[in-house]
Every structure is written in C-alpha cells, then in structure tokens.
Chain A
Amino acid sequence: MKPLHSAYPTRVDVADETLHNPYQYFGTVRALGLSAEADTLKNFLDTYLNQRLSGSGIQFDLTDDLEPTVIMVISDFYRITGEPNRGNFRNRSLQFHVPVTRYECSSDRNGEQGTLQVFSYASNMWNALTSTELRGPLTRHSTMRVRTWMEDLHADASPHTCYSMSPQVIGADGEVGTTVVVSVQKRDEALNPPYTKTTHWDIKKNLNRVFAIKQFQHQQYPKKTCYESLVEIGFDNDGLQPKIDWRNDGSDEGRLAKTCVRIRRDEAHPIVEKLGLKCCEPDEYESPEGKLRALEKLGHLSVASDDTQVCDYLLAPVFYQVMEAGAPVKTDAHEAVQQLATDHPELNANRENGQKPIIEDGAVTLCYRYRTDLANKGWLKP
C-alpha cells in the first residue's frame, strides 16, 4: 500500500505532502458574520470570478446583493483524516466565505447556493498544501494562536486577544516576517459600529457547498497562469452540533457587541479592501520599528525601516456561532493534544452514537482551462 505519496499516481515516491479525500474533520467551527459594502463585494465577485469564468457558462451572484454578509470561518480541528485511518492531523484554519448563488444555463444546478472561499490560511502545512494543490482554495501557511474563546469569557471580563492568525508578510524594511494580520478580541466596551444588521446564518446548511478558484502561476510568465479551474467542494455537515449562537438582537447579553475582529492593513492580504468589509474607525498606531526609530534618533541603535505606522481595521461581527463535530471538543489546547493521541476508540464510539464528524467526500472540477485562444475562451469541462 502506498503511503502519502500516492497523490502522485503515475510517479515514484517523492515528497508529496498532500492527503487524498475523503476527509473527516473532528473539532469546532466558529463563524463570524461581517457586514460588507454591496457594491465593493459585487465588484470583487465580478473581477475575481465572473469575468474570469466568462465563456465557461457559469456565473455567480451575491446571495444577498443588498446587505451582504461575509462569513469569517475559524476552524479548530483536533483531528483530520485523509483516507480512512491514514493518520491524524491537527489543524486550525481561517477562511473568508462569500455567500453566492450559482447560475448555469441548461443545468439542474442553476440557482444553487453556496459560498466562494477566499483568503484562506492553515496552521498545518500538510493542510495548506492539500487545499492549494489538490482541493482548490489557495491556502497559505500561518501561525495561529488561541488563548481562549469569546464564549469562555464573562461579558465583563477584561480585554483579551482570543485568537490570532499570523502569516508571512513583507515588513517595512523589506524583510519577510510573521505578523498578526487577523485577530479576534474581547473588548472592554462595545464597538458601536456605524452600521447595524440583525442576521442569522446557518453553518450547517450554508457551508455545505463551497466554490473556489484553483490556480497556479506560470513559472515562465509570472503574470500568467499555467492552469486554473473552478472547483466545488461538498460537505456533509449533519454531524455539526450547535453550541453558541450570538446575534445582535439582545439575546447575547451584549457579548457580541464586545467582540471585535481586528484585521491589519497589508498589501499582500487585502481582505477588508477587496471584500468591502464594513469597519469602524481604523486603529492607527506606531509600530515597534517606529519606537526603535525614536531610540535611533537618540543614538542608541540603528533601524532600517522608515515606516512607523500600522493600521488595523476594527470590525464588529453581526453574529457569532460555534458548532462542534465529532467527539466532544477539548477547548484547551493541551487537552486537545492529549485527546489527539488517544482518541481512536472514543471517536469510533462517538460516531456510533451519532456524533459524526464533518465529512468531505471530495471536490469536483467544474471547468478548467490552460489557455484562452480556444473555444469558450479555453474553458473545458472534464
């Protein structure tokens, strides 16, 4: 039986690092609704997806084109398996999903609803590579830290950074380093955003069909692609059990209002700008390099950077949901690791008791192309 390298079906065993479907996910999924400007989000959808898909016969529109909501999904899976019993992998991920409706003439799939997955990050390199190279959504490796979660804190608890995601970014001095780009914080006081919306979004129903562009840069012409495709990923979310559902309708004891998503303004991760996310006044502050520069002026040290300001967007989520799949979740990281090491009998038992995991049978390539000078602008169906 071939090990991990079987993703290279026609080749020998070189380091492949991707896992084959079907996948099973055990752990927690958190969803935060973020209000978006309809025009900006629609423009993003058109430029990123619809114009690209021109000729394929498939187009997408915002499911809510008046007051759209972008879903920020944070997953914390203490166990992911590829092919059954291949092994256990732990992963945290952060993804942004745009609810969309698919339109395709002469197709029984016309009008189907799903989400477009964009700006994706994973803590486990194997997960990042599997997602990017096999499943489809471009997923970047990043460091993710969880100190606690919003639901574990009292409404009057002191300010706290619950979660942070740190990908590799280009620093002001040109050096590539790791910096927090997205974090979830518990604030002392409510944000009072200049927008309000009471909404609800069902992870179980609405995160079962995900669309993504699978795209690889051409090695000779960096501004071109050598291959791109539209993929659809289907999930069986029956195993998801709701745990938390905060909405800004007063039912959350004001805890949602003190929840803040902080996104750093970064050229390589233009999440807020591209998706048109509505935010409160940006939080600008001096970077550590700037403080060092002050010392430099005093002659104490030398700093190469000229950029001293950092800008963070502060976003007020319009809902916060937590759902669990598989065995009971260990929110404490240490406990989760312990569970990871000893979970097999319990997991099997839990599955038999109905606490089944999220199941992903696999993605489907809806259409692909590698050049544009063919019929239908090069789009082909497998």
Chain B
Amino acid sequence: MVLVWTNIHFLQSVILGAEDLGMTVSGTNKPLSIFSNVMARTFPLPADQTTLQAFVDEYLNDPCHSGTNYFRVAMPVVFMQLLDYGSMSGRLTGSAYTSQHELLFMVVLEWFEECSTGGFQFNGKCYKRHAESHALVTPFIFVDNPLSVMMGRENFGWPKSLINLRPVAPGWAPEAGESVPIMRIGAMRLAQFYEGQSQRFSTILEIEKRAGYSDGTVGVSMDPARAISDWWSGSLKNFDTLSQQWRDMLDLSGAGTGMLTQMLDQFRQTLAGNATGRGSLAHWFASLGNSIGVKHFTDPSDKQCCFESLANMRTAVTKMYGGGLLGSMESCVSGLDGGFTIRAHRYSTYPALETLGIKITRTENPASAGDPLIDVLTPLMPFWYRMDFELKTSVPLSTRVHGKAFSEPLDCNQLSDYLPEFDPTMGQASLAGGGGQ
C-alpha cells in the first residue's frame, strides 16, 4: 500500500509533456488506471495487409458505427504481446490494486477523419489525417484476471477472454537448437461448436525458445525522458531515427555496431521494403498512445446490438525502466526470430490468425487424435521493454443505441449531466476503472 502511493507520487513527478489528456468535464485529470512495472514482451508477426484491412473495414470502418473516422492498416505486421503487470489500479478503486498477465494481438492503424477537402479518399469520402495520426486496435486479448476481463469489456470495449498463463520450465539439457516450451497459455475451450462437445481446459498457445539461445539483451541504460519523448513524438519519426533509438537503447558499442546495423537493415527490408521508413516500427511507437475499442452489447430479444460505441483510450508512458531485444543477437541476424517459435492451437473460438491474416510458417498435426491442428508462427525480431503507464482518458468517438446514432461529442459540456447515474450497488464500484490494455 505504501509502495503504491509512493509510486504514484513519483510517477506524477515524472509525467512528461503538458498534454492534459486526462482533463474531464469535472476538471480533474486523474488517470482512469495506473499500471506500474509492466514488463512487455513483443513478438511482431508478419501478416497479410489485405486481410488485415478487410478486418479493420468490417470491425471499425463500417459506416454504421465508425462516425467520421477511417482507419487504415499501417503495416503488415500483427504485434503479439505478452505482458506482466506488476500492479494496476483504477480511479475509483482508491487504494486497491491488482495484477495480471496478458496476451494480446495488436494491429497498428493510421487514423483519418472525415472533412470536406481532405487529401485522402476512402469509400468516396474525403479524409484528412487525424491529429493523433496513429492508433492501435487489439481485437484479441487474453488475461488471467477475471476482474480485468469484465471491466475491460464493459467499460472500454476491449474484447478480453479469460485464460490461464503458465510459465514452463525447460526440460533438462535439451539438445542445442531444440525448441522447448517456455510459456503455455490455456483456457476453457470447446474443441468444436455445434457438435455437442463439452467445455474443457485446453492449451491454446505456446511460446517456445530454441535451446542454447540467450534470453535477450539486458542492462540497457536509457534516459527515460528522452526515450519517452522520442517514442511518443508521433508521425514525424522515420526509420533512421528509429534505428538510432534502437542503437541507443541496446547500448551496444564497438564490435556490436556492425551486427546491429546489419540486423536493422534486414528488419527494415522485411517490414517495409524501402528506406523511407513508411510501414516501419515508427508507426507502432506512434500508435501506442491511442487504443481503439469497440464497446458492444447485444439485446437479448432480437440479438441485434443494443449499444455499441467506438471508443478511444489514451495512454501515456510515465516511466521507462529499460528495453531491448529478446533472444540472441545471432538469431536476430540470421533468422530474425530471436530463437522463438509460437505454436497456436487452431480453435474456432479464437480465429485470431485467420481473422488477422497472420502468416503461418507451417502447420503441424496434433499429438492426440481429435485435438486441433497447430499453426507454427515465426516472430520477427521480438523485443521487450519495462515501463509504467497510465490510462488517461476513454472517450466515445461514436455511439449507437438500438440502431440510433447518438452524437455525444456535440454536447460534450453537458453530456455528463444528461447521462443516467451509475449504480454501483451490485459490486461494480470496487471494480470500476480497472482494466488493463
């Protein structure tokens, strides 16, 4: 408890920039949630951009619920992230805090807004680049904290599912180069729908690492202020500045520079195919501050939507502890996979790979008859970072209730007076504001 509040005061003192993203009508700028000591392991997965865009068009760009927004896929990569939250607390939870593990699939978007004379045209309408430039959407999120599942879904529109996440100790003395599981994610699943089968606990995803490869770069020294301002500076970033950031972050000197340059060049060619920086990781960094969620609830009688809202959640990194590559340098130069392999069990419940067009390296048969096929994925230069961050605001971009549009931004100053009071009697008060990303 003491530690939590000490952290909060410390974080407040190191918040960078003058953006008052947390300012609400009430005049307070307390963050909705505070996340401390969050370790993120990111596994970029190549994906088919056409499939990704088709998903985004249906999920976000449908004219019925997109409002004046349009989102374009920024890069043909889906970022699979594995997060370990040291602690997280919400605005209404007071001193309460909890933690969780999380697995998510993230898509980086370019964000446009409709206008009369914009330079971009989508679906016959004119758009200009949104002031925020980039955003991200996370249509598949798995967490091991039930509280986070419900609050994330009901408050912010993050479609979370409950999982069990279990680290696995490598077997004794595996052969060099042999892949051994290091993490196993399981959930209650049905093997198939519409076949009367029973729900059971199943492994849905495994992360493996080749034996003999190191865990990653460590001991990275980094100036938090400069790193944050670089990371969050948005659309002006290009690949060259990004490369420089990586050099700084990795803190490699002398002999390592040539290897690093070679690695970054290969990564650039793989992701972007050119030297302009377009489609590079710069978009990913630029997008981190804006998450787009779809808050969607169904009417029980007609199975149609009773409430749906496109929501923009804004986050801000308040402290960086460090970051670097996952896996050994030699694996990044040769195969770019860091020595990691991801094995996704093909359950129809979570069609993340199919929906997002993630490229599958190969498909393996299951060990037991009746179990689903296993799709093997190869990440591209996985990396890690540890940070504190805050969920500053969550704002509806467009809302529809029983099929009728509700333009909340038009009367923003009075909106809170018009909304019905929330009744926390049934236990929501203790949970409100929690979530996670």
Contacts and interface: CB of A to CB of B under 8 A. Distances in A.
B426 A119 contact: yes
Nearest to B57: A12
Interface stretch (B155-163, B165-173, B266-274, B327-335): B155-163
Given A119-B427, A382-B402, A13 B351 contact: yes
Interface stretch (A60-68, A221-229, A252-260, A293-301): A221-229
Interface string A165-203: 001111001111000000000000000000000000000
A335 interface: no
B93 interface: yes
Interface string B421-436: 1110111111111000
A126 B139 CA distance: 18
A285 interface: no
A48 B419 CA distance: 16
Contact of A224 (B58, B139, B198, B420): B420
Contacts of A174: 1, 4, 94-97
Interface string B303-336: 1111101010100000000000000000000000
Contacts of A1: 193-194
Contact of A88 (B159, B199, B297): B199
Interface stretch (A24-32, A136-144, A308-316): A136-144
A21 B303 CA distance: 9
Interface residues of A, number: 90
A129 interface: yes
Contacts of A225: 419-423
Nearest to B351: A13
Interface string B47-79: 000000001001100101100000000000000
Interface stretch (A237-245, A323-331, A369-377): A369-377
B91 interface: yes
Interface string B395-437: 1100101100010000000011111111101111111110000
B141 A168 contact: no
A134 B93 CA distance: 26
Contacts of A17: 159, 161
Interface residues of B, number: 96
Contacts of A304: 1-2
A26 B422 CA distance: 35
A105 interface: no
Nearest to A170: B96
B288 to A, nearest CB: 19
A87 B196 contact: yes
A209 interface: no
Interface in A204-257: 213, 215-229, 231, 233
Interface stretch (B111-119, B142-150, B175-183, B233-241): B142-150
A216 B154 contact: yes
A133 B153 contact: yes
A344 B298 contact: no
Given A174-B95, A365-B301, A370 B307 contact: yes
Which has the most chain A C-beta neighbours within 10 Å: B96, B354, B393? B96
B146 A369 contact: no
Interface stretch (A35-43, A145-153, A268-276): A268-276
B348 interface: yes
B193 A3 contact: yes
A176 B1 CA distance: 12
Contacts of A141: 146-147, 149-150, 162
Given A18-B298, A268-B429, A363-B300, A221 B24 contact: yes
B427 A167 contact: yes
Nearest to A382: B402
Nearest to B304: A9
Given A231-B300, A364-B300, A223 B421 contact: yes
A170 B432 CA distance: 12
B98 interface: yes
A224 B354 CA distance: 38
Given A15-B349, A175-B96, A175-B98, 14 more contacts: A12-B58, A14-B139, A14-B159, A52-B421, A87-B197, A124-B199, A125-B188, A141-B149, A174-B94, A217-B422, A219-B156, A222-B422, A229-B306, A371-B406
21 contacts: A1-B193, A9-B305, A12-B55, A12-B58, A87-B194, A124-B199, A133-B297, A134-B297, A173-B1, A215-B423, A218-B419, A219-B395, A226-B307, A227-B297, A370-B401, A371-B420, A372-B418, A378-B420, A380-B402, A382-B299, A382-B301
